[in-house]
Amino acid sequence: DQQVKQNSPSLSVQEGRISILNCDYTNSMFDYFLWYKKYPAEGPTFLISISSIKDKNEDGRFTVFLNKSAKHLSLHIVPSQPGDSAVYFCAASSQGGSEKLVFGKGTKLTVNP
Amino acid sequence: DSGVTQTPKHLITATGQRVTLRCSPRSGDLSVYWYQQSLDQGLQFLIQYYNGEERAKGNILERFSAQQFPDLHSELNLSSLELGDSALYFCASSVGTGHNYEQYFGPGTRLTVT
């Protein structure tokens, strides 16, 4: 039973355009959501997070949107750069339980020059 | 460089064998997490230790065990290895325990069971 789903295994965009990565979750107990970026041969790196009390969080070129009613979050990257090419993982956790992160399977983003 | 180190980087072993993966957390981090990434799966949480004590358990098989030592480094022991245990094993660390503490990941250990 996959509680965090990233339905697009891959996404290709042109440099300078917007990249939108999507994530759906099923567990209504999740109240904290994160995006990690992973380059080959490296571990995941934290990118941005959002608490369930917010619907948007912005950090430079990266914005995460949360739609609790739809159990959906998205990561927007504007403008996209070739260095953003990586695998992006969506993750979620719930307070009151453990601090374990539940990850999606990832979306491979390719930004073409 | 996240500051989390994992050894070895690669490990090739045979079915039925036992291996130990090692993780050194970032300086000052008390919490250590272990994750498994198989070919067709996302990262799966295995277990968490905080300041030497087991804090949370995920989908960890009984053949697997872990511990965190007084110097805060951690080891993940995998025994009676099966082909399906071939995966990337990541260690992560964080300052505290709490779901809004950022977890810093090491580069992983790639285990191949033949």
Q: Please tell me if residue B56 touches chain A, with a CB cutoff of 8 Å.
A: yes
Number of A to B CB contacts under 8 A, please give it.
Answer: 70
Mutate to test the interface with A, among B39, B99, B102, B110 (most CBs of A within 10 A): B99
Chain A residues within 8 A of B53 when measuring between CB atoms = none
* pLDDT recorded at residue B90: 97
Mutate to test the interface with B, among A47, A100, A103, A105 (most CBs of B within 10 A): A100
Helix (H, G, I), strand (E, B) or coil at A83: helix
Q: Edge to edge, what strands does the sheet with A19-25 contain? A: A4-5, A19-25, A72-77, A62-67, A56-59
* pLDDT recorded at residue A41: 86
User: pLDDT tens for residues A1-41?
Assistant: 789 999 999 999 999 999 999 999 999 989 899 999 999 88
* pLDDT recorded at residue A95: 73
Q: Does residue A96 carry a pLDDT above 70?
A: no
Positions of chain B with pLDDT lower than 70, given as ranges: 99-100
Q: Quickly list DSSP for B61-114.
A: -TTEEEEE-TTS-EEEEE-S--GGG-EEEEEEEESSSSTTSPPEE---EEEEE-
Which residues, 6+ apart, have CB-to-CB distance to A46 below 8 Å?
Answer: A34, A35, A36, B102, B103, B104
Judged by CB atoms closer than 8 Å, whether chains meet at A89 and B43 is answered as yes
User: pLDDT tens for residues B62-85?
Assistant: 999 999 999 999 999 999 999 999
Which residue from A74, A32, A28 is spatially nearest to A53, judged by alpha carbons? Answer: A32
